[in-house]
Amino acid sequence: MDKLAIHGGTPVRETPIAYSRQYIDDADIAAVTQALRSDFLTCGPRLPALERRLEAVTGAAHAVAVANGTAALHAALYAAGVGPGDEVITTPMTFAASANAALYLGARPVFADIDPGHWNICPRAVERAVTPRTKAVVAVDYTGQAAPLEPLLDICRGRGLALVEDAAHSLGTRYNGQPVGSVADFTTFSFHPVKTVTCGEGGAVTVNDSAPAERLRGFRAHGVTRDKALLQGGDGAAWWYEQQDLGCNYRLTDIQAALLISQLDKLEAFAVRRNNIVSRYRKAFAQLPQVIPQGEVAGSESVYHLFVLRLDLESLTAGRRQVFDALFAENILCNVHYIPVYYHPYYQGLGYQRGLCPNAERLYEQILSLPLYPAMTDADVDDVILAVKKVLGHYAK
């Protein structure tokens, strides 16, 4: 094999390739321009239009669009009634926002370990983590595979817990034939540029019942209501509105809604391309003894957000750090998803200790995320495969 770029050899690619990036076309730009020329930059007609569209895509009865995926998690836990002293069970193998949402409400995140096969939260670990204080479970559709929703719903239903599905990775995924968004009690989405569809920053919560949908809408807009049937005072005055609860300003603008509607026109094509790239990676790495494949969650027909390469460190002379740095030098800008949430100094300061979730900690030592996004060309995909083979070949035992 050629000399590694990290040792002074020629990199596989001349130009760096990132692990993810947005796909914006002329239709997206036209949609945003139209919104900018319209009467409403926010609180206009594009927001409900987006929400109806999200309902159609997810099969949920109600979609409430918010400012970002973190706001969606915060709003979902609020609407689920989570408050001070409560516990919320979640996975450490996620972006910190999944756990932070509990902290915003004065609740305590409790970390349940992942399944060592598919790397999503393990229902048996969730069951063991339930206490009388548990109020909700936040399951994350890690890499785009739905969490094991049926076993999780069984656990939650039997105990009166809310199941919140953090579907930041999994728009378009189906579980037992049903689109993600209509299965759990609350499903949250993120529309950050690395995610499947984007509007810069954006998020949404989907629910099937109207009462939580109303709570979500109130929370998105300061806890303020103008609904005549709910007002306590004002004597019918036209200007009157009431803040009846403490909410936030988590609104999504009409500019963003316009972009997202246009992006959703491409969801199907994005999904096909993402999964096509994943298949090419899987096929290319199937014969490499240094790679441990991700297992599949039963019932999940996944649209992949991440391709996580898990290294069998026993069969390598290098650790993940060296492999990562070597790929970087080849101009493959990989990433790591995720540092276990409770490793962060903030969480350590709250008293969480390493060792809590051994399967997640072991996985973390072995993983890196390869580039995966629809705008990648086949040549880009081939470069990534070549670089992985070059680097793993070099460090193979």
Ligand X SMILES: *Cc1c(COP(=O)(O)O)cnc(C)c1O
| 3 state SS of 188 | strand
Of 168 and 327, the one with the shorter C-beta distance to ligand X is 168
Rounded to a whole number of angstroms, the minimum distance from the CB of residue 338 to ligand X is 8
Residue with tokens 């999940």: 300
Question: Residue from 99, 121, 140, 318 that binds ligand X (CB under 6 A)?
Answer: 140
Of these, 58, 91, 98, 366, which contacts ligand X (CB under 6 A)?
A: 98
Which of 22, 90, 91, 94 contacts ligand X by CB under 6 A?
A: 94
- Number of neighbouring beta carbons within 10 Å of residue 235: 6
Minimum separation from the CB atom of position 142 to ligand X (A): 7
Interface with ligand X in residues 146-175 (CB under 6 A): 166, 168-169
- In angstroms, give the least distance from the CB of 188 to ligand X: 7
Q: Which stretch binds ligand X (CB under 6 A): 62-70, 246-254, 316-324, 365-373?
A: 62-70
Is 228 annotated in the active site? no
The closest of 166, 190, 193, 151 to 102, measured between CA atoms, is: 166
Number of residues counted as binding ligand X (CB under 6 A): 14
The answer to whether the CB of 153 falls within 8 A of the CB of 114 is no
Distance between CA atoms of 140 and 178, rounded to whole angstroms? 17
Residue placing its CB nearer to ligand X in the complex, 22 or 98: 98
CB 58 within 8 A of CB 281: no
Site for ligand X in 14-53 (CB under 6 A): none
Tell which positions 63-92 bind ligand X, by CB under 6 A. 68-70
Buried b (16+ CB within 10 A) or exposed e, 206-217: bbbeeebbbbbb
Q: How far apart are CA 294 and CA 371, in angstroms?
A: 16
Amino acid residing at 76? A
Among 135, 195, 389, 390, the one annotated catalytic: 195
Residue 111's closest CA among 359, 367, 366?
Answer: 359
Contact between 102 and 82 (Cβ < 8 Å)? yes
Nearer residue to ligand X within complex by CB, 22 or 70: 70
Asked if residue 256 binds ligand X (CB under 6 A), the reply is no
CB of 342 to ligand X, least distance (A): 15
Say whether residue 190 binds ligand X (CB under 6 A).
yes
Residue 94 in tokens? 């996620």
Query: Which structure tokens are listed for 302?
Result: 């996944």
| The pair of three-digit structure tokens given for residue 251, joined into one six-digit string | 């609104």
Mask of contacts with ligand X, 200-239, x by CB under 6 A?
---x------------------------------------
Catalytic sites, residue numbers:
195
Residue ranges in contact with ligand X by CB under 6 A: 68-70, 94-95, 97-98, 140, 166, 168-169, 190, 192, 203
